[in-house]
Amino acid sequence: MLQQALQKLQQEIGKHSKDAYVQHVGAFLMGYVRQHQEHAAFILTEGKTITGSLAAMKEEARKKQSNRVGVLSDQEGFDIVLKYFGVPMQQDKAAVAAPVLKASLDDLL
């Protein structure tokens, strides 16, 4: 399944060789699916394309726009791409990464 997912991505990348968006996101997806082979089936979802993920990113950027400009961080953009393909996302990454301090005021004094 991994090979089929990589072939699908490579075909679209080749078809849109002058489109910087397709090249950049396609390279990300190829690296992602190599690291997460269990998600290859999501890339193979019928009707889901790299160019289709652009529409999903545009829609999300519109929701955050200010002065008619929508900006996303790289991480936000890639998360939107993965969500578009149906890849299950981890729960709140910040909450998982941040340690919890359990102390009372008395402990600190």
Instruction: Assign 3-class secondary structure to the chain.
Output: CHHHHHHHHHHHHHHCCCCHHHHHHHHHHHHHHHHCHHHHHHHCCCCCCHHHHHHHHHHHHHHCCECCECCCCHHHHHHHHHHHCCCCCCCCHHHHHCCCCCCCHHHHC
pLDDT mean over 24-36 = 95
pLDDT of residue 91: 52
Query: Any idea which of 23-27, 45-49, 99-103 has the lowest mean pLDDT?
Result: 99-103
Percent of all residues in the chain with a pLDDT value above 90, rounded to a whole number = 68
Q: Does the pLDDT of residue 108 top 70, yes or no?
A: no
List the domain boundaries for the chain.
Answer: 2-108
* Cα separation, 25 vs 53, whole angstroms: 9
